[in-house]
Amino acid sequence: MDGSLVHYDKTKLTQRLSRIAGQVNGVSKMIEEERYCIDILHQMAAVKAALSRVEDAILSDHASHCIAEAIASGSEDAQRRKFNELIELMSKVKK
């Protein structure tokens, strides 16, 4: 696999991301309006959870397609590359 993401439902994920963008704009408006901090924090938590769900969908796609293809190929080099990609990603996520 060339690293492109083609297996997940692009329409569904882009719709989710559009909703998230709307939520982020809503948080910005709440801040401008000096809304109650807890209300803003609740909305920010909702944005994080929504982003996490999109991330999970893409990661699941990566595991079920890209990594599976590398394993099925029998190529140790391809398997090592996919493994290293995941390790690099996990180290970024922890920061």
Q: Look at residue 95 in the predicted model and tell me its pLDDT.
A: 64
For 10-94, the fitting CATH number among 3.40.190.80, 3.40.630.10, 1.10.357.10, 1.20.58.1000 is 1.20.58.1000
**DSSP labels, 4-72:** ---SS-HHHHHHHHHHHHHHHHHHHHHHHTT--HHHHHHHHHHHHHHHHHHHHHHHHHIIIIIIHHHHH
pLDDT, residue 83, reads 87
Distance between CA 88 and CA 76 in Å, rounded? 18
pLDDT (0 to 100) of residue 61? 85
pLDDT tens for the 95 residues of the chain, in order:
445 545 678 889 999 999 999 999 999 999 999 999 999 999 999 999 999 999 889 888 888 888 888 888 988 998 889 888 888 888 887 76
pLDDT of amino acid 4: 54
Give the domain ranges of the chain: 10-94
Question: 46-49 long-range CB contacts below 8 Å, 24 or more apart?
Answer: 47/20, 47/23
0.85 cut: is pTM over it? no
| Coil/strand/helix, residue 83 | helix
Give the containing element (helix H, strand E) for 82.
helix 76-94
Helix 37-61, helix 10-32: angle, nearest 10: 160
